[in-house]
Structure 1
Amino acid sequence: MDGEPFIADVRVNGTDFVPSLVDYGCLCYGAVSKRISLSPVATYTRPAAHLGECSGDGKEVKIDKITYVSIDLDGHQQHRVFMYVIDDLNWDMILGKRWMEDQDVHIHAKEGYLEIGSNGVQYHKWSRAFSQQLADQLPPHRPGVDLKIEVLKDEHGREKPLPWGPLYSMSREELLVLRKTLTELLDKGFIRVSSSPAAAPVLMRDRYPLPLLSETLRTIAKARWFTKTTFRTRYGSFEWLVVPFGLTGAPAAFQRYINSALQDYLDDFVSAYIDDVLIFSSGSLQDHRDKVGKVLQRLMDAGLQLDINKSEFEVKAVKYLGFIIEAECGIRVDPEKVEAVKEWATPTNVKSVRSFIGFANFYRMFMPEFSPSKLKDLLITAPILAHFHPERETIVEDASGFASGGVLLQRDDKDGLVRPVAYFSKKHSAAEANYAIHDKELLAILRCLEQWEPELRAVEHFKILTDHKNLRYFYSERRLTERQVRWSEFLSRFQFELEWRPGRKGGLPDALSTGPGYAGQLLR
């Protein structure tokens, strides 16, 4: 840019405003001075290089460090922005050519302003939804939504005696934090001094249902774009005027409210799990932006505030409910969630065993062999599960040994490979273990179809591969047992054909039904 340099005030890492040079002559993404890199931000050493394209004046400078910063330019926010660290930089920060191109920045020198065409400006109309000032204010009463604490009654309809909770011992440091927290909550109006005759940690639960994780993941399969009571203290008794974290009825109450606010959009292009809202779409970027605008407007109308630091806009991959969901690719385990598995100590009691199994069970749909001896490796190396597409060729492989097992597969239109969508296994009960082989195989099919009924009911036709040849003649049998008649009625809901394949080719389903050590190759 010719003439006077263009200087913009940029808030760095959520603190100070920094005069920054916006320079098309700086060919890299951007650079910061040593002063900025000394703030509480990680700095990484890299092999030294001498570059003349990042200093802003064309002089060759030594660069051996990089860092990541968050920047806020008049409401346009970016997180983890890559920057070179230059010791003797003339400016605290330079935003270069690559940044301008990436963010679609245009300099209007005569008028003295920048035009930024990315999502920070796209959604500026709804900036009040991200206002910290509004978030710190007491929200309005919402009839029909405000929480009410019900007192339990005895068999005669009389209220039970109200409990008086004990005080817990606290260290001096904990007491200082408690006093500071109480002061902040009182100043915001979130709590008030209470004269209530009761204070207890136990409340009645709100039974409003939370969304099923499996249904939520199915709903977003084709998306291309994603945007995710009185208490006693040493200092007296206080009562909440807002719903606190940990209140047993809070999740259900908030889920009810968020569902009512977004009712028209749920499962169409929005998924809301308590306070985690995901907007998804399979169309154009502009179509996605229109939908984001609708959701932001609806949340503003409902008086809900969002955290800009936890928001992502117009991304192709997103962390949601413990998974990584990637456009046109699939669902995989969040590496951060399972990193601790590598260092997980061997369980030494019933409680620790339950804790580990419970953690692993959350991800069992990724694991073809769900056995304690292999859980660590299976979690760490969990494959990417493909999204389910009703129009693709669909195959169910089943097997039955000591358990029912199966894998749901679909052929990828791009490379012709058959990829896993989900795994399933369930141990036989004592009675089921005594079934005839014919019925065990049929039970395996039945359980697979029950597990994946929402997906398979949407498919016009699919194959079931079985290693029991006689099952092909099941529908032609004249005499069926009472159990087989019940099963036949359920199977008639699906459009499938049974195809025999030799047991030795069962591979993965056989491993699911007979235990570890038998996993083979998927179909090719």
Structure 2
Amino acid sequence: MVSATSVSTSVSGQLPNKPASDFGTDFGTQLMYIQVSLSGRRATALIDSGASDDLISQSFVLQNNLNTQLLQNPIECELADGRIVLVDSSINSKLKFSVGTDTRSESLQLAVAPLKHADVILGRPWLSRHNPDIDWTTGTLLKLRSKPDPPVQSWPLVTPRPPIISSSTAPVKISVVSRGALAKLARTEKVYVAFLQPTSSPVPDAPSSADEESLKKHADAMFERYSPVFPEKLPAGLPPDRRVQHRIDEHPDSAPVNGPLYRHSERELKALRYFIEEEVDAGRIRPSASPYASPVLFVPKKDGSLRICYDYRALNKQTIKDRYPLPRIDDLLDRLRRAKYFSKIDLKSGYNQIQVLEDHVHKTAFKTRYGNYECLVMPFGLCNAPGTFQRLMNDLFRPFLDRFVIVYLDDILIFSETLDDHKQHVGQILKLLQDEQLYAARQKCELFKRSTEFLGHIVSGDGVSMDPKKTESIDSWPTPTCVRDIQVFLGMANFYRRFIKNFSTMAEPMTRFLTKSLPFAWGPEQDHSFSSLKQAFQSAPVRRIFRPELPIRVSTDSSDFGIGGVLEQKFEHRWHPIAFESRKLTPAERNYPIREKELLAIVHCLTVWRLYLEDVENFEVLTDHHSLQYFKTQKELNKRQARWQELLCNFTYTIKYIPGPSNSVPDALSRHPDYLNFVRLLPGTAATSVLTSVLGNITSVSTSVSEAAASPIQMNTIGLSAPTSGFLGDIKSATPLTTEFNLLSDPSKSRTRAQHNHLRGLKIQDGLIVKDGSRLFVPSE
């Protein structure tokens, strides 16, 4: 460890003497300074026999634009004021100084540290090389006893940093503005002018591993220093008495809530006994004789264990809503404009770290097979919990808010312009959390980052950008491989066609395949059309930036294999998309009843977009499933619905039914081609070769199968294995016995309208029936 403890002497006739208290510690009356020249720049050097290395001020390096080199192994430095900092860079410089009549010049390596009252500290290495005579009574350097040895690097260095031109290979975004716009901008903001010289030479990637490793060491040091803030589980006992406690104020004449007692399985009863015993011992719940009694259920967690879920719907209905505002996201992000370093802290079970007001504890009572209990800490499921939590966060962090920290519920972001400032800021916040006995989840925290995700945005030294996840459902949409794929994509595109200039012309290369006369053939023209429409979805005037003062709505839908949704706002009498969302259903979710699939789509979308929706007084959720309008008043909930209800209680929303044709965008998102439950066999792949070889074992069909393989093959199947030759032989034997084969083989036969529609797209190829040239017809026989 480098020590920078200052001695108590001074050099007469050099600089005004500074008291040792200027360094934050009372080491004596005066210090010893000399004037030096550092690479031609005048500097003040402190002679310090207590410093184990030679140091240079970080601010001096920045002010004089000196080149630094990263150290391979950052070192800890304890400053005179007791601060411990990590030193991760150094400079090589020419030092010129005079002692009496002796003038010396030498090359010197100096570690860069956040010094306050000296530009340079010449410590024991410098004193050992020069071995000066010091008059300790007057605090004067008399002479140097020996000539300096050749400079020796004290610390191994990493490869020098490349020039700034190579710091990024990302494409440059250039905006062209008129003279008038530039003049208007110059009146309100600083305007910087840069001359760009294009070059054809390749730009190498900037090395970032050393910088990331250095920042990781800073983070590890902070995690270690404030380890009590990051426990594995919350300590037993109540949180300390804070200025903010949770209240449950009800409307006048409200009667105590008394819900039903739900039945539980033996496994759930075992979990209930364990929960009661653990929480009573921890002091977070206690037996209750309250007239209030809300029901509880158990819902499975991801690891298979069970979690208790309070059904506070009746209590929430008669609770006076707390209108304490949640911060506007755009206001928070505006504070980050000049920040270069970021740390994100996520509180652990945040609600359980706030006490319920003693006079209102009885209202949280819940009934179980083993008696009634009430919550002493704020439970999940209460409608005013977010407002209470935000009030506490604002109260605790008020001295630092918007200066170097912003807080949205349990998400805390620390931001700084310099690394030195960031060390100090992170330390202040973690110390505050430690003093207030607030605890964080280490696995969800990120310290000392150049960029991070926060409130649905990516924040970095380059500014704030939208999280790509908002349009990932559109951006990742795969290239259509059949007419059906085009129909799904254009079904969504048509909904926003009024915002897309020349939509019909742009989409024509794809829409031409919707006529039955043209075979599907994807080429460069279609690829350009598809890419252009995807880009149009993600930019103005279709997609807009979120504005909290405007009306907002959410539309959702589900299919057999996916869920989708779109978040929209009303701009000038028209609804514009803000974000798109979709995901594939898991195998278990595919077995849900249709109603619960539709409800899952609502829960998923509201959870993803909670940052936009939690503080909205009332917004509409549009669905094409009629019965979901009554979900909020449903008397009894199953376990799955109870879990979802707990997630939805933080939103003020109304579910509204709309007909399916009016819900085309979520419908298309839920039918994302990548979610389909079939295997796609593309030309030239191993799977196609296997299928072709198997089909080739059947007499006289190899040629037609090879032709069919020129387009993607879709097989509705449970497994991934190709059909056996025996099975395909059975298909070929049974096909001539079908009505479809008889009608197709004799076009002169009369057909009903239903038969005509059924046979559309079917044709006979070498004794087999193929649909749309790519799917094999399997007879029921």
* TM-score bracket for this pair, using the shorter chain length: 0.3 to 0.5
Larger radius of gyration: 2
TM-score, structure 2 length as denominator? 0.29
TM-score, structure 1 length as denominator? 0.42
